[in-house]
Amino acid sequence: MTTWNLSRILDRPAEAITDADRRVKEFERWRGKLTPTMDTADFGKIIGEYRELTEAFHRLGAYGHMMVDSDSSDAAARALQGKIDDFLGKAENRIRFFTHWWKTLDDAQASQFHDELGDDKYIFELMRRLRQHTLPEEQENIISLKDTTGVMALNNIYDTLISRKIFTITVDGEEKNLTGDELRAFFSDHRADVRKAAYDEFLRIIAVDRDIIGDIYRNIIVDWEHERELRGYASAISMRNKSNDLPDEVIASHLAACRESAPLWHRYFALKENLLGDRITRYDIYAPWPEVHRTYSYDDALRLTLDTLKSFSPRFDELAREIYDSNQVDVYPRPHKTGGAYCWMVTPQLPPFLLYNFSGKITDVTTVAHETGHGVHSQLCRHLTPLSSSHPIPIAETASIFSEMLLTERLQRDEKDAAVKRFLLMRKLDDLFASIGRQSFFVIFEQQAHEMLARGATVDELSSAYLTLLHEQFGGMEIPAAFKDEWLAIPHIFRTPFYCYGYSFGNLLTLGLYEQYRREGAAFIPKYERFLSSGSTMPPVELCAQIGIDVTKKEFWLEGFKTVERMMDELEKL
C-alpha cells in the first residue's frame, strides 16, 4: 500500500484521550507517597505506569500531527490536534511531580532503585545530573505556564509575521504573488535573474519588519538568559548542550573544526563556478545542476534501497522490509498533504511510520534511502522502552545519512552515464554544505548574538556581525549587503536556540563513521549495529567511544571532512 494506516496508532482517539486522562489521575495517587525509603516494588510499579503514560502520550501526539500532515484541510483533524496538544501540555504538568522528586534524591538514595529502571537507567540518571539546574516544582510549573504566553507567544507572533508576508516577483513576464515557501522555490531556479529577483524580494520584505523581528529576537534571548541565570548554566549554549548530554568542549571542538574547514567549501564553490560556466555570488549557492533526465518508479527506488542495505547487512534489509510490509508508509504527493519527508517512531510496539512525496526524481530515490535508514535505526531500538528507544538529537541523523551514502556510492559504481554520476556528487555536496557549513555558522552567529545582546547590541550591529560571518563562510564570493538581514528569517534561532548544531554534528559524525567503514569493511558492521541499537541508554560521548570515536577531539571532526574532500576530487575527475 502507498498510503499509511494511522488506525494502528489509535483506533478511537477520543476514547484514547479519556483513557490517558484516567491513567494520569491514577498516577497522581503516588503524589505524597514518594520517599527515599519507599519499597522498591512500589517504585517498580511507578516506573511501569510512567512508561505506559509515555507510550499513551506518544501515540496521541503522533496521531494528531500525522492526521493533519495527511490532510491539512481537514478541520476535524486540526481541531483534534489542538485538543490533543492542550491535553498533553496539561497532563505533563500533572505528572511532573514524579521526575521532580527523582531529581531530589542523592546518589545513594537513587542507587537502590536502579534495578527497577532497567534500560531507562541512563534517562533517569541524566535527569538527576540536571537537578542542579532544576527549580522547585511550583516554579517549574509557573515557567511552563508562563512560556505559553511568553516566549512561545513571541514565537507565534514571529511565525505569523513571517507566514503572512506576500512576495511579488515577475517570472516569464508574469507577476506572481507568492508565499514564503513558494518564493523559496525560486532560490534554486535555473535562471540567474530569477534567483536574484527572488532573493532581493525576500530580503526586502523581511527587512520591512526588521525592527519588530529584532525586538522579538532580543526578548527571546533575554528570556533564555534569565532562565540560564535562574538554572545556573555557565553559558547560553550550555543549556542546549546539557539537554543533549554533550560537554561544552565537545561542541566547541566540533564548531572549531567546522569553522576551520570553511576553505573546503570555498573550493567547492569554485568548482561549482567551473561546472556551471559562470561566476556565482550569494544569489547562486543553490543554483541547480544541469537536469538529469532519469526517472524512477517508487518500486525502483525501494528495490535499489533494499538491495543496497542487504549488500551492507542482511539484518538491515530484514528490518527495512518489515516497515514496508506494515502499511505504514505514505508515498505520493496530493493536495493538502504536508511536504517533505520524515520517519516517525511512534512506539516500540510498532514499526516506524514513513512519509514521502515521491515524484520519480533521482533525489526522491536518495530520500527513500535516507528515511529508510531512519526506519532501520528505529527498528533496532524496538527492544527498548518508550523512554529509551528514541535517539539523542546528535545521533538521530546517523543511520539516515549513512544509508544515503551507501546508495549514492552504489549508484556511482553502477551508473554508466557520467552526467548522472556528476549530478549525484554535486547534489550530495550541496546537501552537506547546507547541513554542515551553513548550520554550523548559524550557531557561531548565535553565540556572538547572545554575547552582543548582553552588552546591549542593536539590530544593525547583529546584522553587521552576520554579514561578517557570511564573508568568512563564503570566502571571496560576492555577498550583497542585503544579506545582512537574512538571519531574521532563520526560524530555528528563534524557536530553538543552538539547535542547528545537531544537523552539523550528525552529518559530520556520520561522515567520520563512513570513513571508519571504508577502512574496516565487514568488521565495522556489528559495531555499527550495536551503536544504532543503543537508543538513549548511554551518553553520546560514551556511545561514540564504544565504536572507537573520540568526539572530544577536533581531529575526529576534521577526519569527516576527508569524505567531502574525496567527493570533490571525484567530481573534478568527472
Please report, for the chain, the start and end positions of each structural domain, with discontinuous segments joined by +: 6-138, 298-389
- pLDDT of 393 higher than 90: no
Compute CA 187 distance to the chain's CA centroid, rounded to the nearest angstrom. 22
**Identity at 324, one-letter amino acid code:** Y
Tell me what the mean pLDDT of segment 538-554 comes to.
92
Reported confidence tier of residue 129, pLDDT bands at 50, 70, 90: confident
Reported confidence tier of residue 60, pLDDT bands at 50, 70, 90: very high
Tell me what the mean pLDDT of segment 230-239 comes to.
90
Tell me what the mean pLDDT of segment 62-75 comes to.
92
Cα distances (Å, whole numbers) of residue 493 to 214, 220, 461: 12, 10, 17
Cα distances (Å, whole numbers) of residue 275 to 69, 280, 292, 420: 38, 11, 14, 14
Compute CA 306 distance to the chain's CA centroid, rounded to the nearest angstrom. 24
Compute CA 186 distance to the chain's CA centroid, rounded to the nearest angstrom. 24
* Residues 551, 495: Cα–Cα separation, whole Å: 27
Compute CA 29 distance to the chain's CA centroid, rounded to the nearest angstrom. 37
**Identity at 457, one-letter amino acid code:** A
Tell me what the mean pLDDT of segment 60-79 comes to.
92
Q: What is the pLDDT of residue 155?
A: 78
Percent of the chain at pLDDT > 70 equals 99
Reported confidence tier of residue 138, pLDDT bands at 50, 70, 90: confident
Nearest to residue 136, comparing CAs of 95, 110, 91, 101? 101
- pLDDT of 76 higher than 80: yes
Q: For residues 149 and 519, which has the higher predicted lDDT (pLDDT)? A: 519
- pLDDT of 303 higher than 90: yes
257-266 per-position pLDDT tens digit: 999 999 999 9
Tell me what the mean pLDDT of segment 447-464 comes to.
95
Nearest to residue 537, comparing CAs of 395, 383, 388, 392? 388
Tell me what the mean pLDDT of segment 270-274 comes to.
89
Reported confidence tier of residue 336, pLDDT bands at 50, 70, 90: confident
- pLDDT of 367 higher than 80: yes
* Residues 360, 333: Cα–Cα separation, whole Å: 11
Nearest to residue 419, comparing CAs of 567, 292, 295, 286? 292
Cα distances (Å, whole numbers) of residue 462 to 204, 240, 258, 281, 491: 17, 21, 21, 22, 16
* Residues 267, 437: Cα–Cα separation, whole Å: 13
Q: What is the pLDDT of residue 321?
A: 97
Angle 497-500-503 (CA atoms, 0-180°, nearest 5)? 155
**Cβ pair 224, 236 in contact under 8 A:** yes
Q: What is the pLDDT of residue 510?
A: 92
* pLDDT, mean over the chain: 92
Sequence-ordered list of residues with C-beta below 8 angstroms from that of 149, at least 6 positions apart, any chain:
none
DSSP at 436: I
Reported confidence tier of residue 252, pLDDT bands at 50, 70, 90: very high
Percent of the chain at pLDDT > 90 equals 70
- pLDDT of 143 higher than 80: no
Nearest to residue 352, comparing CAs of 391, 313, 392? 391
458-515 per-position pLDDT tens digit: 999 999 999 999 999 999 999 999 999 999 999 899 988 999 998 999 999 999 999 8
Q: What is the pLDDT of residue 478?
A: 95
* Residues 62, 344: Cα–Cα separation, whole Å: 8
Superfamily for domain range 6-138: Oligopeptidase f, N-terminal domain (1.20.140.70)
Cell of 530: 550495536
Task: Kindly provide the b/e burial profile for residues 345-361, where b requires at least 16 CB atoms within 10 angstroms of the residue's own CB.
Answer: bbbbebbbbbbbbbeee
Q: What is the pLDDT of residue 164?
A: 82
Cα distances (Å, whole numbers) of residue 136 to 47, 93, 133, 142, 322: 22, 13, 10, 10, 45
- pLDDT of 87 higher than 80: yes
339-360 per-position pLDDT tens digit: 889 999 999 999 999 999 999 9
The number of beta carbons lying within 10 Å of the beta carbon of residue 383 is 12
* Residues 514, 531: Cα–Cα separation, whole Å: 13
